Structure 1
Amino acid sequence: MGAAAFNADPKRCRRKINLLFAGHGTLHCMDHTRKLHGNCMDHTLAAFPCLDPACRRPRLHTHPAHGDLSWVQPGGGKMQVRSRVLLLMLALALVAGVGPTAAKTLVHCAEAAPDSLNPQYSTSGNSYDVAQQIYEKLVNIKRGTLELEPQLATSWELSDAGRTIIFNLRQGVKWHRSKLFTPTRDFNADDVVFSFARQMDKSHPYHAVAGGRIYPAFHNLGLSTNLIAVEKLEPYKVRFRLKEPDAGIFYALASHAMSIQSAEYGASMLKAGTPEKVDLEPIGTGPFQLLRHLLDTEVRMRANREYWRGVPPLNQLVFIIAPDATVRYAKLKAGECHTMTYPNPADLDRMRQDKDVRLVAVDAMSVGYVAMNMQKKPFDDARVRLAINLAVDKKSILDQAYMGTGRAAVTPIPPGHWAFDARIGDLPHDPARAKALLAEAGLKDGFETELWTMPVVRPYNPAPRRIAEMIQGDLAKVGIKARIVTYEWGEYVRRVRFGEAPMAQYGWSSDEVDRFWSDLLSCEAAKPGNGNLARWCDPELDRLIIAARRTSDQEARKAYYFQAQALFRQGMPWIPVAHPQVFTAIRPEVMDFRVSPSTRLDFYGVDVQ
């Protein structure tokens, strides 16, 4: 880097610099305005940009979670250290032979925190966004697309009419290492068997390690009933045996919930009496390794320098949790983050004119809806569910909340998809008919209920509170008094999945059409803790879902899904609200950022100039 590294602009440095040491010797710096400086470096102080005399009295802060230096005054305050001490530290680092390579940190402003660092326990997109960086699967969805690609498997062979799949595994893949765990071997077949056995086998020592949490995706995808065994054939070859063929099996295995964990790490933590560490302090093979997780605040990761595809361009990746879209935009403009998810639709025109912002848009494989819990009266009555759909003015929601960034949802499947039945039109806004249906159901004077609203924006819902208030107003006009209820995001997800809400906002994004049905509307998904929030269990719908998965003939699958959509219209377990166009706002210095139609975030390959 040379001497130029020490000639920083005093206006940029201001008066003070906070040095933030993450685990493993990584350095970040930010000035007193809390703007990030991107040219601090990894593993050395050599690139520290503010060793100029204008930068007085730097303060050293440590992250105690990683056991780094902790310099504290007797009174508990942070010790003040002058710049000459930093210069001495710099000299020592250079004498030790640490090279001056510029570090690159990308900060992503996320709208919500992960509800788990083990994606096997979750169906939350925020958990999956973190898992995408840390873990890998046998197969993956190619960045920015819906296409499958090999990942920890290099190839596979099908036999027995698709009931048997043999995967050849990638060799030379290194596991992350941490203070808790130093791997003694590379990834191999034992890890694949371990990762599936803990979900399949109730007697497995890791099956119940999370204290009663279930494996929702494993059940919703039908793997709990269709996957017979996962067997090690050779150190780098495994066999999957299915009861019946499954056209969606490879997309199922590309789910983040099918991430591969280290069997050796599991055995080590079990021996130490701390098996929960496997879930709380994940070890993966992905491009980034976890440094620290501050609940509802931050997830900090560093580059995996042994990554089999090559070292990522970014040295560090930080997810900052900022639920308010206005706050995320302010942070983006101020340079406090480089990327932000799900801007407020009202800000989009301003962003398009903003030289500091680029918008990346995609028509998402996603749906936003309000589920009506059919295990709670009066939602067990189809007339009431239809009345509620007729009472809601969906066009106003699309105009005023989505502001042109969504299309009306008619069924779970987005329009334009090969499985969407365009013959099924949307229901009209008809309050008079809604009142008549309520009277027919014995509810002439209406009823009282709760409408649960998400505390955070999601790709399928840009304004949860606003939309809830609009629905509340529409329902009041037909005599239904709906009280709006909300919880912190993790608690909200848990409660709605265990059936507490009579009406609840939710949504879904997926890579493949099967998961709109299996995860959201199947009988298996209607069990407590799973994703069928309406608790709608129709055996005929289940039959159609299973039949569509058992054939690879797309025309036959389309016919089954058309019938499924007809049943959905008859049952009306949801208010299907919108299929969104999803936006991500990024700063101009961010390079090669891609958005998937399934809204996956994959930061491998992304760079910062």
Structure 2
Amino acid sequence: MYDGPLHDPRFPGLRRRGFLAAAGGAAGLGALALAGCAGPSGDTAGGGGSPRRGGKLRAAFAGGGASESLDPHLAALFADAARAKALFDKLADFGADLSAEPRLAASWEPNAQLDRWTVKLRKASFHNGKPVTARDVLYSYRRIADPHKAFRAKASLEPLDLAASRAPDERTVQFALKRPTAEFPNILAAFGAYIVPDGAQDFDRAPVGSGPFRFVSFTPGRSALFRRNDTYWDGAPHLDQLEFLVVNEESARLNSLLGGQVEYAHELAPTTARAHEGKGQIEIVRLRNSAMQSFAMKTDRAPFDDKRVREAFFLLADRKELVDGALSGAGEIGNDLFGKGYAYYANGLPQREQDLDRARHLLKQAGAEGLRVTLDTSAVAAGFTEAAAIFRDQAAKAGVQVKVAMGSKDSYWQDTLDAGSLCCYRSGAMPIESHFSQRLLSASTTNATQWRHKDFDALYQQAQSTKSPQDRAAVYARMQRRLYAEGGFLVWGFADWILGTARNVRGVAHRAPANTLDWARFDKVWLA
């Protein structure tokens, strides 16, 4: 992994990893992080020692049944994404602070207007021995952007003008963009933006990628077996084989780990972690700040169209009580902003505390004394129902009556996107810029708080037209101060993501947030 100077000229906008000093750092996705770039500071769990080659690691994930696919552009579940990362590569991926780090890209460079970017590819080969070329890159991106398909990374690639993008030679891609995009590297690192061979369509019988492992076999809903790619550009994996097993129940994953049927168990509960942490039978790894936990207030309708009511709700919350109760203590408190520990996060704002007297005063000013509001929640995500009950009781202390309404697990996210006025919400890791563009602009398609302000949109466009990272950071800070004061996300916490490994597993990172390069990265793991 690249760990060069703060501003390497090959990678404009690249920020040094190591941004996280006191915090770690994923909607619907939480995740694991298995690392290859851990340093001597203790970035990996399971003990140290020199890497040992050989053996098979069996990893248990919850899966998607018979409809599962190895098509990396369809990856949506944890199991899908982990398998895709083993077989394929992206041009870039996210580091621990959610800034883009190079993978298949050797460099990226913009023009003066930031609407044309030139990407140079490193020397890398697919599993069939053919080199990864610019044609493969353009084919992959055009496939993802197909308007007739529903590929995961499609929205992330929207700024690209792929019809006008060109491949002047085998290792150069000239990307045309629809508008200035200073955060262009985030597009290359987008979730699901994997590079596949030109013309590839069939991924379930014998998929060919450029990743650290090669395909052996796949049974949807049951297992996938891969073997080491000895010619991998980033160094051959230590493991001989990697097997993904679908084990849907958390208790079954734990029992498989305890019984020696697997060496890695994804997505364990906080109660499981407390019961087994430090007991010596298995290793527990906590990935800090892996999921933002919040309540989303609709800012375009009563009562939350009054910013005084929104501020009052910020002050109703006892964040520590929410983390302790809803997350069983497996997390840390939030400060009403997304991206704690990520690049560009506004660290300097005061930590908001519960202040019931001030909340009552604001509600009285807004003519909202004795306010009654419905809080939509569901068992769709861990801690949602518990958080709703805790906040209901907290609000009652200031005379606010919160009615908790249980929604369907199957349709909750769609139901709450436009309907209602207050709901439980969570988010996976992504760059702060992506959080702005996907959720907080007037044209954002997943704007759960209905935050739509032309001046805020203009600040985002200003940032995207600003080449200097320092000047861009100043614009992002203005945007975050605005959201802190009057936004619609009451961010009360950041949850740990918990996984377990056998005691002989080494090289598992615990500092990288979910959805980053070191998430689900098995090529640097070994068996002691």
Matched with 1:302 is 226
Could you tell me how far 1:239 is from its partner in structure 2? Answer: 1.0
User: Residues 342-396 of structure 1: CA distance to partner in whole angstroms, max 9, x if unpaired?
Assistant: 5433444443322122233454475322222345654444344334333332221
CA contact (8 A) 1:109 1:340 kept: yes
Matched with 1:28 is none
CA contact (8 A) 1:286 1:307 kept: no
Select the residue among 415, 422, 434 that pairs with 1:515. 434
- Does residue 474 (structure 1) correspond to residue 417 (structure 2)? The answer is no
Could you tell me how far 1:607 is from its partner in structure 2? Answer: 2.6
Most deviating of 369-378 and 597-606: 369-378
CA contact (8 A) 1:332 1:586 kept: yes
Matched with 1:464 is 384
TM-score (norm 1): 0.65
Could you tell me how far 1:233 is from its partner in structure 2? Answer: 1.4
Tell me the secondary structure at the aligned position of residue 321 of structure 2. Answer: helix
Query: CA, structure 1 residues 504+541, in 2 after alignment: closer, same or farther (shift >3 Å)?
Result: same
User: Residues 286-313 of structure 1: CA distance to partner in whole angstroms, max 9, x if unpaired?
Assistant: 234484464xx55524236475336541
Instruction: Tell me the distance in 2 between the aligned counterparts of 1:375 and 1:280.
Output: 49
Most deviating of 133-142 and 252-261: 133-142
TM-score (norm 2): 0.74
Letter in 2 for 1:169: L
Matched with 2:147 is 207
Tell me the secondary structure at the aligned position of residue 505 of structure 1. Answer: strand
User: Residues 156-193 of structure 1: CA distance to partner in whole angstroms, max 9, x if unpaired?
Assistant: 444445443333334562257xxxxxxx9654322211
Select the residue among 205, 218, 225 that pairs with 2:157. 218
- Does residue 536 (structure 1) correspond to residue 458 (structure 2)? The answer is no
CA contact (8 A) 1:386 1:434 kept: yes
Tell me the secondary structure at the aligned position of residue 258 of structure 2. Answer: helix
Matched with 1:586 is 501
Letter in 2 for 1:209: K
Query: CA, structure 1 residues 504+175, in 2 after alignment: closer, same or farther (shift >3 Å)?
Result: farther
Aligned length: 466
Instruction: Tell me the distance in 2 between the aligned counterparts of 1:321 and 1:506.
Output: 26
Instruction: Tell me the distance in 1 between the aligned counterparts of 2:339 and 2:152.
Output: 31
Matched with 2:189 is 254
Instruction: Tell me the distance in 2 between the aligned counterparts of 1:499 and 1:287.
Output: 42
Select the residue among 234, 237, 242 that pairs with 2:177. 242
Runs (5+) with no aligned partner, structure 1: 1-100, 177-183, 201-205, 267-276, 458-462
- Does residue 195 (structure 1) correspond to residue 140 (structure 2)? The answer is yes
Tell me the secondary structure at the aligned position of residue 507 of structure 1. Answer: strand
Matched with 1:397 is 322
Tell me the secondary structure at the aligned position of residue 398 of structure 1. Answer: helix
User: Residues 85-108 of structure 1: CA distance to partner in whole angstroms, max 9, x if unpaired?
Assistant: xxxxxxxxxxxxxxxx98614223
Give matches, 1:428-439, under 5 Å: 428-431=353-356, 434=359, 437=362
Select the residue among 85, 88, 104 that pairs with 1:135. 88
Select the residue among 112, 116, 122 that pairs with 1:164. 116
- Percent identity of paired positions between Structure 1 and Structure 2: 21
Query: CA, structure 1 residues 357+589, in 2 after alignment: closer, same or farther (shift >3 Å)?
Result: same
CA contact (8 A) 1:104 1:315 kept: yes
Matched with 2:523 is 604
Letter in 2 for 1:194: Y
Instruction: Tell me the distance in 2 between the aligned counterparts of 1:546 and 1:517.
Output: 11
Task: Give 1 or 2 for the bigger CA radius of gyration.
Answer: 1
Instruction: Tell me the distance in 1 between the aligned counterparts of 2:223 and 2:465.
Output: 40
Query: CA, structure 1 residues 153+393, in 2 after alignment: closer, same or farther (shift >3 Å)?
Result: closer
Instruction: Tell me the distance in 1 between the aligned counterparts of 2:296 and 2:262.
Output: 34
CA RMSD of aligned residues (A): 4.0
Q: Determine which structure has the larger helix proportion and give its number.
A: 1
Query: CA, structure 1 residues 256+380, in 2 after alignment: closer, same or farther (shift >3 Å)?
Result: same
Give matches, 1:435-514, under 5 Å: 437=362, 444-457=369-382, 463-475=383-395, 478-488=400-410, 491-496=411-416, 498-500=417-419, 502-510=421-429, 512-514=431-433
User: Residues 506-545 of structure 1: CA distance to partner in whole angstroms, max 9, x if unpaired?
Assistant: 33343643233223323343x2xx3x32221222222222
Select the residue among 117, 126, 142 that pairs with 1:174. 126
Runs (5+) with no aligned partner, structure 2: 1-52
- More relative contact order in 1 or in 2 (CA 8 Å, sep 6+)? 2
CA contact (8 A) 1:251 1:512 kept: yes
Instruction: Tell me the distance in 1 between the aligned counterparts of 2:403 and 2:69.
Output: 35
Letter in 2 for 1:167: V
